Copies of this chain bind each other. A is one copy, B any other.
Amino acid sequence: MSSLLDEVLTANRAYQDAFGDKGSLALPPARRFAILTCMDARLDPAGFAGLAEGDAHVIRNAGGRASDDAIRSLVISHKLLGTGEWFVIHHTDCGMELFTDAVMGQLLAEDLHTARFVEGRWENQAKAGGSPEGRYVKWLTFTHLEDSVREDVQRIRNHPLVPRDIPVHGFVYDVRSGRLLPVS
């Protein structure tokens, strides 16, 4: 067993021991809202937005972008599970501002393993052979943080499967202070 797997399962046993009555929580979110945010390791939505288990749906991807898959999740969240208010939360110092589709396509074409960011540019540590498939992916990078929130809020609001009366709030999370800043 990998040491990481062992660490995760040890932490999980401690969580089970303190599980209390959480086993009786219902499937639909009790506070009837959903958060779409980034996968970034520094973000703990339960912490920064005050969620207990059972409260709210949390959807996360690279960038917290309103991808087709995030919208699939939001539509299920409302249509089948009753959420009626949504938050789109991007954050400062996001990795999605550090590359472009062209850069990612080239990096992956050369090698699949982790690249380094040196003096403002990405470079592969090896060129052991990659895949051209990266050139066929829209990576959903962005260059302006607040605009990326505005565009994602707008895409969700205008989506044909989203009712017009669901409030969609845009925010930036500041990784230096833990603060949520509204984007209007």
Contact surface of A with B, Cβ cutoff 8 Å: 2, 4-5, 7-12, 14-16, 19, 22-23, 25, 27-31, 33-34, 39-44, 46-51, 53-62, 67-70, 72-73, 75-82, 84-85, 87, 93, 95-96, 98-99, 104, 107-108, 112-115, 117, 122, 131, 133-134, 137, 139-140, 160-163, 167, 169, 175-180
Contacts and interface: CB of A to CB of B under 8 A. Distances in A.
Contacts of A180: 8-9, 12
Given A8-B49, A34-B39, 17 more contacts: A12-B48, A12-B49, A12-B50, A12-B178, A15-B178, A16-B177, A25-B41, A27-B95, A30-B41, A40-B57, A59-B61, A61-B69, A72-B140, A75-B134, A79-B113, A81-B95, A133-B160
This chain's copy number in the assembly = 2
B79 A15 contact: no
19 contacts: A4-B33, A4-B85, A8-B180, A25-B41, A30-B41, A39-B77, A42-B53, A42-B54, A44-B53, A62-B72, A67-B69, A68-B69, A72-B139, A76-B95, A79-B108, A80-B99, A80-B104, A112-B161, A112-B163
A110 B126 CA distance: 54
Most B CB within 10 A of own CB, among A7, A115, A161, A162? A161
